[in-house]
Structure 1
Amino acid sequence: MSNSVSHNPAEILFPDADILVTGAAHYAVLTTDGEMLQGPVTEARKFLSTDRPPVICHMPATARRAGGKPFPAFDLLELFAFVHPATFCLPTPKGLAEACGLTLPEKLEDEPLALFHVMQILLGRAADLDQTSDLRRLLWSMGRGGWQWTPFLLAAIGAEEDDGVRAGTSGLDAWKRLPEWEEVAPPPPPGGFTISSNETRMRLKDLLGQAAEDRPEQSDYAVAVSKAFINPEQEGQANVILAEAGTGVGKTLGYIAPASVWAEKNEAPVWLSTYTRNLQHQIDQELDRVFPNPLEKQERVVVRKGRENYLCLLNYEDAVKGAGMPGGRAVALGLMARWIAYTRNGDLSGGDFPSWLSDLVGGAYTVGLSDRRGECIYTACAHYNRCFIENGIRRSRRADLVVANHALVMVQAARGNLDLGGRTTRLVFDEGHHVFDAADGAFSAHLTALEMFELRRWLRGHEGKARGRARGLRARAEDLVGSEDAMKALDDLLRASTILVADGWRQRLNDGRPTGPAEEFLYHLRSIVMARAPGRNGPFGLEVPAVELDETFLELAQKLEMALAAMEKPASRLQTLLMRRLDEEADSLEGAVRARIELVSRSLEHRCKQLVTAWREMLKGLHDGTPPAFVDWLAVERADGRELDLGFLRHWIDPTLPFTQVVSEQAHGVVVTSATLTDGSGDEEQDWKAAAQRTGAEHLKFGATHTKVKSPFNYPEQTRVIVVNDVRKDDLAQVASAYRELMLASNGGALGLFTAISRLRAVHERIVAPLESMDIPLYSQHVDALNLPTLIDIFRAEKDACLLGTDAVRDGVDVPGESLRMIVFDRVPWPRPTILHKARRDQFGKRFFDDSLTRLKLKQAFGRLVRRKDDRGVFVMLDSMMPSRLSGAFPEGVKVQRIGLAEAVAEVRAFFGTGEVDPDQPGT
């Protein structure tokens, strides 16, 4: 493979390197002599030579399987990211082969040769890249950073080697080549036009196409939800529709139809909100039907997420300043520079950013370049008019449809930034069964070490040794304060903030030497939790009720509350003086300065004052008692036995109450929709009552309209539900055997869901080799060196792969077709018995509440099996203790079979036709 291929005008050179592929149990190598070698994966280390780096696909996964640390190598995924930036590709040999238009390798031993052809194609395509000085300078910088591919790419584009004259950051200045956006006049108020059922049906027909089959269920659903888009008739009335649409109805286009008609007629946005990023991406794709012209869609559709999801160009520029230093930063930033030049909107989470890139080159200089801590300096930033975030905010004001997520909508509404009383009057909450959970996160308050540390860093920036960009409030706002009084207020606030948790707090708490009132409070809190909590020697988090606390702790709480009050006072004074400057200098302040003052003032309100006020109220409650609408507790958060955080937490018992107050009641129309709004208790009235509780509809003065459209699928024919009654769920050897035999019986295409990470890892260890020996790849959350979105992408693409994940994975999985044909639960996913759950259980109906939540989880998981008319699926529960009252989670007519493992394996084989059934040995 040391040969070269002629290419005019440049010469294509290939590395003189072996090509290594590692599986879960075996490796395959194509040597430079053309010899194919195979063996146990534990022996792959002998090919990890620093003198002759191999060609591989995905360094972290390769290193983990080979049992070693990352090593020098030619990673073809890095080459792909350079040649095809902002382009989707599965991070596997099959994925690279598919992206390059090659025949997919069938077995592990076919993959090294496939990677050789991938390398040929990518280096050949590199020769056709735009031959600019920017590209050459970028490659020189990456080469100085140690990138293995640099000389081969320079040869491909016919460029000379680095002459060493230019700066080490030359070529990385990607921001200079981005277009600038301009301010435009604010849009007019929304129109007052309603929409008719006929308009909705006609729009739906247009979206589906004239040749589409008649789908009366979808049309009926669209008309039902269109009632949210009629004008309210009474003051304070919100037209709220709770709409359940069974899988296969086509609810996404069903609500897009009336939403797009209303937005078009009234020249105002409708916000379409989801719980998962995956569904955001799906909705964005569906909107191609509404706006097939990409340029028009760019203007009329905006995908919105929190600021922490987008690249911050100032963070990127600051990282580039140190790119000449060793450590591989130039390689990561070089690949980011290529992505920046091609990205649609700078989205680092679920957009056109390849999620596997952060696994390859590290999170610090990829996803870590977002504005995660609210350190934006707005118009003072040199990149303000190129900023992806600000551009998205402005476009959303003029858009027809804004695709957002529940958390963003709730936080923005609570801060008054969603403008529900102005242009945004209509909202759709898809994945509506998660409204309760999203509200729980949005409206809770946590007085923890990490939260206090983040506030301190937001106010004071990095203290001591600098580690990246962290501009404190002084650096962001000093030029705005405008008066000695305001400067004094700023100084007083920063001085008072020294009482907060500081860097190094973990070590100080462990050593028993806390510093300041915040750390003293946390140190005593930890002692209480460790003394009272059961299972303190285990790997999981600990919590205790915030009751019957000793006088010392109450005194420390009072001391911390007073210290926080000393912060709140100058923060309020600073905010008041900033707003006074806006008033007093209204005739002279430049627009950019005005905007910055308003934004800094707003940030002070939300990131400091409101947070500190909430913390003070919580601390007072330790002495005066918790208000009846809330539940308080003390907690130490742990993972795998390692302490991550600790503190004092407060949640609403019913978080849909603030959701209703700040979102639903402020809108004119709201659709809350899902395939699983009701849980199937057998009592329709009770089901809708529970749905009203989970969505906040029970708090509405005018109530909500209910509608349910059943799935068109023939579930009794297309599915099977099996409860295995002879596997001991506490015996992981038996559980692993059950997973192995069931996955072999289905020939892959299975998702295994676990209630605990330790159980998942134990099962993975036992079954990965047997499955691979039968050419069934097994991927596992918390085991593979791949992030969850990437794992799901691989699982979706590989028809016979299996995936193990925690129960939470079911929300992120949307895998139509044969790739997901069986779901296996290790045990019934009962709610975790936490202090918060106990309080809600007491309020919402004890056992009925538990049963309802569990049925919903089972219903959601089952719904993943059949997404199209020709899908077939088996649902398996490895828990003989699953009560029959949970069977309402499954569609009408689907029988629950309670059988032994051997019979279950035979049933799976027979259902999928994956092998002959031996009546004497069905499980073998």
Structure 2
Amino acid sequence: MTIPATSSWPALVATSRGALWRAPDGTVERLSGGDASLRAAGHLPLVCHAPAVAARLGLEDLPAHDLLELFAFVRPARFCLPTVRGLCEALDLAVPSTPEEEVSALPQIARALIDELDDMAALASSEMKDTALAMARGQWSWGDAVLAALGIDAGGRKQRPGAGLDVWKSLPVWEEPPPAPPPGSQPVEPREARLRLAQLISAGANMAEARPTQSDYASAASEAFAPRTEEDKPHVVLVEAGTGVGKTLGYVAPASLWAEKNGAPVWISTYTRNLQRQIDTELDRLHRDSAEKRRRVVIRKGRENYLCLLNFQEAVMRTGLVPENAVGLGLLARWALASRDGDMIGGDLPAWLLDLVGRSRIQRLADRRGECIYSACEHYRKCFVERTIRRARQADIVIANHALVMIQAAMGGLDDGTRPLRYVFDEGHHLFDAADGAFGAHLSGVEASDLRRWLLGAEGRRGSRARGLERRLSDLLGEDVEAQNALRRLLDLAQQLPSPNWQTRLADGTVLGPAEEFLALVRQQVRARSAGDDQGFGQECDVRPLNPGLIAAADQLAEALEKMLQPVRRLRQALRARLEGEADKLDSSQRSRIEGVARSLANRCELTLESWRAMLRGLHNDADPAFVDWFGVERVQGREYDVGMYRHYLDPAEPFVNAVIRPAHGAVITSATLRDSLGVPSAANDEDVSRLADWTVAEARTGTRHLAAPAMRAAMASPFDYPNATKVLVVKDVKRDDPDQVAAAYRELFLAAGGGALGLFTAIGRLRAVHQRIAPALEEAGLPLYAQHVGGMDAATLVDIFRAEEHSCLLGTDAVRDGVDVPGRSLRLIVFDRVPWPRPDILHRARKAHWKAAGAGANGYDDMLARLRLKQAYGRLVRRSDDRGVFVMLDSRLPSRLLSAFPPGVIVERLGLADAVSETRRFLES
């Protein structure tokens, strides 16, 4: 086969003003979205990120040669920005600066990747060649070119079924490590922590600047690694460290020392997957050798993040029915063989590949519903999750996230029943919200139908990979007739839970079973009593007083749940009996499987049923002061998605402390924003802030006020000169409810900054409205504009692009505000559309009343949350000593009592938009 000339393919780049089309002869013309679609259908142009290009042109789909697909095949598990400039940088090509140069660069990118494949052909593995052939037979647009480059004759090879996609055959087998000895109790002295910190700093590629407060931080954090002297009294250190202190290396220093001295891992937990990746990158300083780092540092996430080989195999087996699925599966196969640990969400699978293959399709390849069959799976000894679990037992540092730590603790330990003794909780200001999600209970249609699916499987739906409890459990029960009967009884009772299409039946009154009857009456009460305008969030109402008939329906459902609990407990008893009675016969994999199934029965089924039953029984009594209950109807894009009764702790930090902190021996809880200044003016000096800044908020939001022994407190101020490095402007003459005025303000401020601008929004609708209005003007000025919830890219990818492109602009919501770490000129302006007040729902109302009763004032709770959000947003602006930036609030209603969110000495100016634009330009140019 002859390798095609990439210059013979047309190329397409989408812009806010239409499309640029490059013909094979090199001429470039501008087209409308419709014309571009018509041409693409006949010519399959070269593009970069087809879903985003299609979205920008207002199209549902775009047939094309997507260069990112080719990159993912040629360089699996390798990062590049999903832009034309990003591809050029990754391939060492000249980086274009205009859309016209970008569209001309696309054939060069294709040529470079095809040439790279051609160079690899002689040494290409048989797996790689088989994958290419399988994808080509699935009508991959790149198929012929890739086969030609690899020297493969498509007609001359007959493939066995699944060849090239059956990666499970090529993955290595993990080995079971020996049981770990009990950890030691050696302390980490402050002097040792300071010395280790100095070593970490000197180990960087570039010597870090001296930070005296960083050594103080490491010294304070070392207190959490002293031996515990009394049961249930861990050593807990609360450390607020301003931006620039260098808290990551500050806590890694004592944590790594303790792990090495005592032979047990320290779990470092953060809020998001993106932050897990950032911490992992920092640990390159601790272990310069990648193989050594892999052995001693492990990233842990929930099972739903990893590729399930059994799910993947079943998807591969169906490619005979849908050959085009081989394209996406082939790209995943290439990645799986190159991946560090099979982590699909936030790991080394590029986030943009999820967009290309289909995010929901990829997520279905993970175990998102707790249906793992453990050692009964033929791929168990190659499983990515099981391998990671075993690596974590032998590691020094485990990088986890708050949700995993809390859910595992709430369920009685980790996958193997063990608990870490030492924790570091970075982004500690998010512990309250993480605990709120982990310890809440939802008796809803979605949750109940998911439990039915977990128990019964797919119930006749062809092509579904859902495996019911019978498949996971029956062979483990052996000849125990009573247990087999209990299993059948449970499966019969599970049919009382909501079945497929339950949403339709709730609306038309044709409900089936006690669960749907209860949910229908809940829906009726919500629709009757909600305030009306749901603002896109759905509707909700108080539980009491109950509508007629609800208490009877609740009792009927509670009785059904009680009947389900009986066989669940009998099954768990049978599994425990087998572990004890056949201890001399079961090998380690069999024991592991029995323990895993018993644990999932308890966590996924028994605890859920018990919590639901308690919620229903509680309807007979007055409200429990420890909880907040409400009824709700949730909507997604205007459609009813879920209905149910919801229960959250009034103070979720209390169960977090009881389940996670109290059993541990020590913990560091740290953030740049733990304390609240309670209205101290930003113009106050450092001594005023230190004296008045309130640790009460930190102890309440982290739960440490519930400890028997008080937490140690430490605070390190930022070394940055905020008064001279930043400006804070409040625009007083823009009508916040006028989308044209708000958009004009964003446009002019972004242009004045020359890019490097982050626009933050408290509502997705306003974000989209502003994006639509300002994109053409920014493009004409040469400023690329990216936006969350617009187009086909996820937030993490957008932040990566924004960080790399110094003159780009980004619009986003909370997820962007909390996850951006962009040092340098790539972020020099932040514009906030409105004061970030918390959403005023029933749960918020209860917590606000609780804080008011505690003496926080009528608006104390709202003010505290808004100040913390402003602190977080402002903190994105200066990440190193030479950064400069402007923070603009477009909401003239920003109260003076919130201005203490800004650092001491920073002057806040209230002025008109024209003056704000002029001042932004002057300050950033000076």
Deviation at 1:418, TM superposition (A): 3.9
Name structure 1 gaps, 5 residues minimum. 5-9, 915-924
1:791-830 → structure 2 map (5 Å cutoff): 791-830=798-837
> What is the root-mean-square deviation in Å for CA atoms of aligned residues?
1.7
Q: 2:147 aligns with which of 145, 154, 162?
A: 154
Instruction: Tell me which of 2, 13, 20 is aligned to 2:12.
Output: 20
SS in 1 for 2:552: helix
Paired residue secondary structure (1:672) = strand
Q: Secondary structure of the residue that 2:269 maps to in structure 1?
A: strand
Change (3 A) 1:669 1:36: same
Residues 167 and 71 from structure 1, CA distance in 2 versus in 1: closer, same or farther, beyond 3 angstroms?
Answer: farther
Q: Does 1:94 align with 2:85?
A: yes
The 8 Å contact of residues 831 and 890 in structure 2, kept in 1 or not, is answered as yes
Change over 3 Å in CA distance of 1:646–1:613 after alignment to 2: same
Residue 703 of structure 1 corresponds to 710
Deviation by residue 1:747-804 (Cα, 9 ceiling, x = unmatched): 1111111111111111111111111111111111111221111111111111111111
CA contact (8 A) 1:21 1:29 kept: yes
Q: What SS does the corresponding residue of 1:819 show, helix, strand or coil?
A: coil
Tell me the distance in 2 between the aligned counterparts of 1:269 and 1:164: 50
Counterpart in 1 of 2:572? 575
Q: 1:114 is matched by which residue type in structure 2?
A: A
Name segments (4+ residues, structure 1) moved above 6 Å: 419-423
Distance of 1:422 and 1:133 partners within structure 2: 42
Q: Counterpart of 1:253 in 2: which secondary structure?
A: helix
Inter-CA distance 292–190: structure 2 relative to 1 (3 Å threshold) = same
Q: Distance in 1 between matches of 2:453 and 2:564?
A: 14
1:853 corresponds to which residue? Answer: 865
Picking from 277, 280, 283, the partner of 1:281 is 277
Instruction: Assess if the C-alpha contact under 8 Å between 1:239 and 1:670 holds in 2.
Output: yes
Judging changes above 3 Å, is the alpha-carbon distance between structure 1 residues 862 and 325 closer, same or farther for their aligned structure 2 residues?
same
Q: Which residue among 667, 671, 686 is the counterpart of 2:668?
A: 671
Alpha-carbon distance in structure 2 between the residues aligned to 1:117 and 1:741: 36
Mapped to 2, the partners of 1:52 and 1:686 lie a distance apart of: 64
Match of 2:109 in 1: 118
Q: 2:175 aligns with which of 174, 182, 187?
A: 182
Change (3 A) 1:43 1:356: same
Kept in 2, the 8 Å contact 1:13–1:155? The answer is: no
The one-letter amino acid paired with 1:913 is: E
Paired residues of 2:51 and 2:62 also in contact (CA < 8 A): no
1:655 has 2:652 as partner: yes
* Equivalent residues, number: 905
Partner of 1:459: 455
Q: 2:185 aligns with which of 174, 178, 192?
A: 192
How far does residue 41 in structure 1 lie from its aligned partner after superposition? Answer: 4.7
* Residues 746 and 463 of structure 1, relative CA distance in 2, 3 Å threshold: same
Q: Which moved more, 1:66-75 or 1:568-577?
A: 66-75
Alignment of 1:173 with 2:193, yes or no, is no
The one-letter code sitting in structure 2 at the alignment partner of 1:119 is A
1:863 paired with 2:870, answer no
State the TM-score, normalized to the length of structure 1: 0.96
Q: Is the 8 A contact 1:228 1:239 kept in 2?
A: yes
Deviations 1:837-862, CA, capped at 9 Å, x for gaps: 11111112341111111100000000
Q: 1:225 to 1:537 in 2, by over 3 A?
A: closer
Deviations 1:422-444 (A, max 9, x none): 77211000000001001111111
2:597 is the counterpart of 1:600: yes
CA distance in 1, matches of 2:676, 2:241: 13
Query: Displacement of 1:164 after TM fit?
Result: 6.6
Indicate conservation of the 8 Å contact 1:43/1:66, yes or no.
no
1:661-702 Cα shifts (integer Å, max 9, x gaps): 111111111100000001222375661011100000111111
Deviations 1:149-179 (A, max 9, x none): 1111111111112447324532111111111
* Residue of structure 2 aligned with 1:834, choices 830, 833, 841: 841
| Partners of 1:486 and 1:578 within 8 A in 2 | no
Relative to structure 1, is the Cα distance of residues 42 and 466 closer, same or farther in structure 2, using a 3 angstrom cutoff? closer
Report the CA distance between 1:585 and its aligned residue. 2.1
Partner secondary structure for residue 861 of structure 2: helix
Q: 1:883 aligns with which of 895, 915, 921?
A: 895
Q: Which residue of 1 aligns with 2:754?
A: 747
State whether structure 2 residue 524 is matched by structure 1 residue 527. yes
Cα pair 2:808 2:826 within 8 Å, conserved: yes
Q: Which of 406, 412, 415 is matched with 2:408 structurally?
A: 412
1:772 paired with 2:779, answer: yes
Counterpart among 341, 348, 361 of residue 337 in structure 2: 341
Name the CA distance, whole Å, in 1 between partners of 2:141 and 2:35: 24
Question: What does 1:420-435 align with in structure 2 at a 5 Å threshold?
Answer: 424-435=420-431
Instruction: Kindly provide the CA deviation profile for residues 334-356 of structure 1, in whole angstroms up to 9, marking residues without a partner as x.
Output: 00010011000001111110111
- Confirm or deny: 8 A CA contact 2:413 2:419 kept in the other structure: no
Q: Which runs of 5+ in 2 are unaligned?
A: 681-688, 853-857
Q: Alignment identity in percent?
A: 53
Q: d(CA) in 1 for partners of 2:512 and 2:184? A: 58
Aligned partner (choices 326, 329, 347) of residue 325 of structure 2: 329
Out of 186, 190, 197, the position equivalent to 1:204 is 197
In structure 2, what is the Cα distance between the partners aligned to 1:659 and 1:420?
Answer: 20
CA distance in structure 2 between the partners assigned to 1:11 and 1:782 by the alignment = 39
Show CA shifts across 1:103-159 (max 9, x none).
Answer: 211000101121111111000001133323322222221112110111111111111
- The code of the aligned residue for 2:722 comes to Y
1:42 offset after TM fit, Å? 5.4
Provide TM-score, normalisation by structure 2: 0.96
Q: Specify the code of the residue in structure 2 equivalent to 1:203.
A: R
Please say if 1:636 is aligned against 2:633. Answer: yes
Kindly indicate whether the alpha-carbon contact (under 8 Å) linking 1:430 and 1:672 is maintained by their aligned counterparts in 2. yes
Q: Following superposition of structure 1 onto structure 2, how do residues 24-63 of structure 1 map, counting pairs within 5 Å?
A: 24-41=16-33, 43-49=35-41, 51-63=42-54
Find the aligned partners of 2:7 and 2:755 in 1 and give their Cα distance: 36
Instruction: Determine if contact 2:37/2:62 at 8 Å carries over to the other structure.
Output: no
* Matched-pair contact (CA < 8 Å) for 1:11–1:158: no
> Which is further off, 246-255 or 593-602?
593-602
The whole-number CA distance in structure 2 between the counterparts of 1:421 and 1:643 is 39
Find the residue that maps to 2:307 and give its secondary structure: coil
The answer as to whether partners of 1:145 and 1:324 remain within 8 angstroms in 2 is no
**Correspondence for 2:362 among 363, 366, 372:** 366
Q: Report which stretch shifted further, 647-656 or 495-504.
A: 495-504
Secondary structure of the corresponding residue to residue 30 of structure 2: strand
Distance 1:731 1:214 in 2: 48
User: Residue type matched to 2:878 in 1?
Assistant: V
Q: What is the SS of the residue equivalent to 2:645?
A: strand
**Alpha-carbon shift at residue 212 of structure 1 (Å):** 4.5
Give 1:246's aligned amino acid: G
Match of 1:319 in 2: 315
Match of 1:470 in 2: 466
The 5-angstrom pairing of residues 199-598 of structure 1 reads 199-209=192-202, 212-326=208-322, 328-418=324-414, 424-482=420-478, 483-536=480-533, 539-598=536-595
Tell me by how many angstroms 1:741 deviates. 0.7
2-structure distance, mates of 1:309, 1:470: 17
Contact 1:530 1:536 in 2 (8 A): no
**Cα distance per residue 1:803-837 (max 9 Å; x no partner):** 11123421121111111111111110111111101
Q: CA deviation at 1:293?
A: 0.9
Distance 2:869 2:882 in 1: 24
Give the C-alpha shift of residue 39 in structure 1. 4.2
Secondary structure of 1:94's partner? helix
TM superposition shift of 1:40: 4.7
Per-residue CA deviations over 1:259-317 (Å, capped at 9, x if unaligned) read: 00110000110000000111110110111111111111111110000110111111111
> Which secondary structure state, in structure 1, belongs to the residue aligned with residue 264 of structure 2?
coil
Residue 467 of structure 1 and its aligned partner are, at CA, apart by 3.4
Contact 1:320 1:333 in 2 (8 A): yes
- Match of residue 607, structure 2, among 599, 610, 629: 610
Structure 2: distance between partners of 1:899 and 1:40? 41
Corresponding position of 2:686: none
SS in 2 for 1:234: coil
